Amino acid sequence: MTTTESTKTTGATVAPARIALSGVHKRFGALEVLKGVDIGVEPGEVVVLIGASGSGKSTLLRIMCDLERADSGEVWVNGVPLHDRKRAPEIFGHVGMVFQQFNLFPHKTALGNVTLALLKVRKLTRAEAEERGRAALARVGLADKATAYPAQLSGGQQQRVAIARALAMDPAIMFFDEPTSALDPELVGEVTGVMRALAEDGMTMVVVTHEMRFAKDTADRAVFMDGGVVLEQGPPEQVFGNPAEARTQQFLHRVLDT
């Protein structure tokens, strides 16, 4: 089934969107974490999610990349409806994920980490996987670290290997959940620099981050989450410079002061 056909069957306008969510609810036991989220991300768009701890940013991101399922509402990724479990495998090739913790295998080299899924999931030959893996490492500026083990790399370099691992799968969209939060401050720039280059190459990205400078100079849209809903969204300069909601102002004062 094509995207166009999928669109027809639900009436949702997902055709050009990389992601479309409508009316997404999620609860963990008695706690209602997402209370009806509607959001769309267009191809090539860079969206940053901001909001206080516990506002539901990670949960929303995890639902977008199918690590968590919504209780109700619709989620489409690259034209594939996630409620159609038979088609869920189609989206795995479309999404790349990068988290705060790099989750590299310590006993594998940088290239070994980057090629693992290409070999095991994509079933590429070793030569093909290594060619793609080296290209991905080059893209994050680590061509010379292919044979290094994670313990021999800085935190920033390890996170760039994790980004290369996601890129090697040739994703249509990348999700980042606080990719620089575990890094020493002086290493943040090398990771946001790689992310900025990806954005300039036209990658569709959804990024949970507290890096306001990255958000301001790279994002097309900032989305402020509060208590499980999208309270406010717009161009970063507007959301950061002239927020409409008092809750957004309070949040920005807190993060900009610390």
Residues that bind Mg ion (CB under 5 A): 58
51 in contact with ligand ATP (CB under 6 A)? yes
Buried residues in 20-51 as b, exposed as e (16+ CB within 10 A): bbbebebeeeeeebbeebebbbeeebbbbbbb
254 in contact with ligand ATP (CB under 6 A)? no
Taking the least distance from each CB to Mg ion, the nearer of 58 and 158 is 58
Binding partner at 28 among ligand ATP, Mg ion, none, C-beta below 5 to 8 Å by kind: ligand ATP
As to burial, measured by CB atoms within 10 angstroms (0-12 exposed, 13-18 middle, 19+ buried), residue 254 is exposed
Which residue do the tokens 């990255």 mark?
Answer: 214
In whole angstroms, how far apart are CA 198 and each of 55, 103, 168, 194?
27, 21, 13, 6
Q: Say which DSSP state 70 is in.
A: -
Taking the least distance from each CB to ligand ATP, the nearer of 57 and 132 is 57
Single out the segment in contact with ligand ATP by CB under 6 A; choices: 54-62, 71-79, 124-132, 239-247: 54-62
Taking the least distance from each CB to ligand ATP, the nearer of 28 and 105 is 28
55 in contact with ligand ATP (CB under 6 A)? yes
Q: ∠ CA 38-45-186 to the nearest 5 degrees?
A: 110
Distance of alpha carbon 195 from alpha carbon 255, whole angstroms: 21
Binding partner at 166 among ligand ATP, Mg ion, none, C-beta below 5 to 8 Å by kind: none
Binding partner at 51 among ligand ATP, Mg ion, none, C-beta below 5 to 8 Å by kind: ligand ATP
- Among the listed residues 17, 48, 56, 226, the single contact to ligand ATP using CB under 6 A: 56
- Among the listed residues 2, 9, 53, 258, the single contact to ligand ATP using CB under 6 A: 53
139 in contact with ligand ATP (CB under 6 A)? no
Q: How many residues bind to ligand ATP according to rule CB under 6 A?
A: 11
- Among the listed residues 6, 7, 59, 115, the single contact to ligand ATP using CB under 6 A: 59
In whole angstroms, how far apart are CA 118 and each of 57, 121, 128, 131?
29, 6, 9, 11
Buried residues in 239-248 as b, exposed as e (16+ CB within 10 A): bbeebeeebb
Taking the least distance from each CB to Mg ion, the nearer of 61 and 163 is 61
3-state secondary structure labels for all residues of 101-151? CCCCCCCCCHHHHHHHHHHHCCCCCHHHHHHHHHHHHHHCCCHHHCCCCHH
Binding mask 30-49 for ligand ATP (x = CB under 6 A): -x-x----------------
Taking the least distance from each CB to Mg ion, the nearer of 6 and 58 is 58
54 in contact with ligand ATP (CB under 6 A)? yes
Per CB under 6 A, residues contacting ligand ATP are 28, 31, 33, 51, 53-59
